[in-house]
Structure 1
Amino acid sequence: MDPLSALRDFTIRGELDKIVRFGDEFRFGSDYAFPCTAETAYRSKQGNLYTLETLVFYVKNHQLKHTEYIQSARTQQIPSVTFIDRKPLLEYLQGKVDTTDAIELFPSAPTPAPAPAAADDVSMPEAAPTDSRVVDEPPVVDFMSMIRAVERPLKDREALLECRNRDFYSVLINSTKREEERQRLESQQRKDGLVAKSRLMGAEERGVGFGDELGYNDSGLKPKLNLKGGNIGEGVPIILVPSAFHTLITIYNVKEFLEDGVFIPTDVKAKQMNGTKPDCVTVQKKFGRHPVLPAYEVRDKPSSLKREDWDRVVAVFVLGKEWQFKDWPFKDHVEIFNKIIGFFMRFEDDSVESAKTVKQWNVKIVSISKNKRHQDRAAALEVWDWLEHFIQSRSHV
């Protein structure tokens, strides 16, 4: 009987426990003995013939998950059965199917040696010496099995994701500090550039030199400290947005909309920021005909503004409610929108009622799509165009 048939016979009879390894051979009770590395008649879909030790180890451990089985086989230095061969092989060994295309019976199948008799069994004849076996053909060397037998897993998928005894918290802290410092320097540079530009524009209109307007003496070394405020006021212009959560543009999403031309719903952006609400956001136009213009401060707490801060307010995103302007230092919304440009953001398919009130005000209505995000850029550019035109008109008052 060949090794595969013997293994199938013992598997069907439920006598796998009688298959015991002694040195370099498997003994099937007192019936047969085969070399552990003997090739069986079962050919894998990869093309190689499975050895007896591979099939014995598999049929005794088939209940394991494939990953656990592979790891266990590697630990025992035994070539494993591929995942695709597992089911059909087990069905054949358990007798659920009588045959399979994977079986390749060959005339030179290893001849089983009689299993050696037990020491106390005097009735059994003495086992024939192993050198008396007849081999018709030289054994075929399975080089792939030899290679797999010496393979060792260095790292698995989980080990690659582990970084033991390492703490990246300090890296996070340092990178965060560097980013904060970079933003602070950029913000200061933007403020300085805006102040210089506003003074230069005022100087050109009054026909004075740039150095005189900035307050520098003829040598250009010491400032005269004679700074005069313009119509918009000294410092970075301010844009006010509603603090209400249900409006389209808020302190959470205004930066992405005005700088990148992308509308992100407030609730989505708030979750990305872990609910952390900034007191002030700096925005800058980065696209269109005049990219990277001076920066603007965006705030949503008008009550925190000082008297001199109101001179820097140039725009406001409105809710369409009168109570939004409560305690503002202006007589009414007519005066507000004469000195500040107003924007009302709406979805293009919203009802007319949503804009009924603001249509009575001197504000610009800007529509965006609920789903077509590629159209956001045009809406943001519309806001910038109106804002730049308004600031230029104020500078000439």
Structure 2
Amino acid sequence: MSRNDPLSLLREFTISKKPITLVDSSGGLVTELTDASDVVFADDRQTFTFPRSTPTNYRRGATDETYTLETLLFLLQRAHKSVSEYNLEGAQKGIPIVTILDKRLVLDYLTGATATSSSIVYQPSETNVHARDDVVDDQQDHPSKRQKTLAQSGHADENEILRLIISKERLARTTASVLRGNKSFANIQKVGAGILLKSKSKDEKAAAVAAAAAAKKPDSRQPGATVPSSTSSRPGAVPGAAVSRSGTSSSQSKSKSSSSRIPIIIIPAAITSMITMYNIKQFLEDQVFVESQELRNKGGAKPNRLTVERRQKPNETHKTPYHVLDSTDNLRPEDWDRVVCVFTTGAEWQFKKWKWQKPIELFAHVKGFYVKWADEQSKESIKTWNVEVLNLNRSRRHADRAVVTEFWDKLQGWCLANKPTLAY
């Protein structure tokens, strides 16, 4: 391919990182491709100028149409962007884009990752017509004549000889060419980009209308502000009272609805228990066991109620809350339906005055756990109760994570099977 071909120059300047200049109709330098009328390739030897709409030799897909210089240059400028951003910006600027099937092949060729491409259409120049005729004759005549012809054209550029050879090649159908097809979806891409623009415009208008409405709405907290109300027409009615009551009622209803689905975990109140209100939050959230006595020595007060939060997945931002308490005195009858887990010390008196006072009945309605040191034996009562045993190592605190993970996995599996309506 000759050096004054726009495709060759674009590839050469891209590989060698030479600057490509954009000029407008008056010859002034511009930075945006849409403002330019010509593209200038200038180096120490020569300068070439092409209109930005100049067709190149790179064929679009399986069609006979070729990409223009501005299309290939726009692709190089936006190679770092995603497909959707590239297509949207092309539609906004009115610049034809490279199809998604050709994008990687075009970039590889222009950046030098590949030496050639089957989509390039080679067209011999008039100065080499005779040389091409000689090559055609050589395919039919004696080898001595072929050598003579090649000797006569020895002064020709090696690239020109290669071009003549490739011009006689016929590319067989490959998997890639069959999948590429012969249809162009450029119009669909333009329509999609237009839909995205309309949707974005509607969202911006809706946000502006909402902001304007919020600005006009009077603030009931400001002196002299009035709030429309259907009850204000009644004698003695206080403006805004109905709105305030309905707003409070709605808020309370929503709060009650969400809180009534939060699972409850009950732990022992005994100070000899390994799991207490002092260390339960650090154990279940930070996955590290710290003895309660150590935390009590620091002077912290024992909380009456805690909320433990847990991410269901490592990268999930939402945290699921669990209420934790060590006394059932303030539990209402309907709250027992939210109890999903009970930590036990193995003493039956722990369940006194509970809804289910018998261990067999209790652990048929909730998931039971018993925490102990790994080198200790479980209590005899635990062996007959339907509870899971969690073994902690006395000195290896890094092993606590595996124990806590086991706890959450078993509790969530039980909740899925027995309490699917709760927000766990």
Shorter chain as normaliser: what TM range?
0.3 to 0.5
Highest RCO, 1 vs 2 (Cα 8 Å, sep ≥ 6):
1
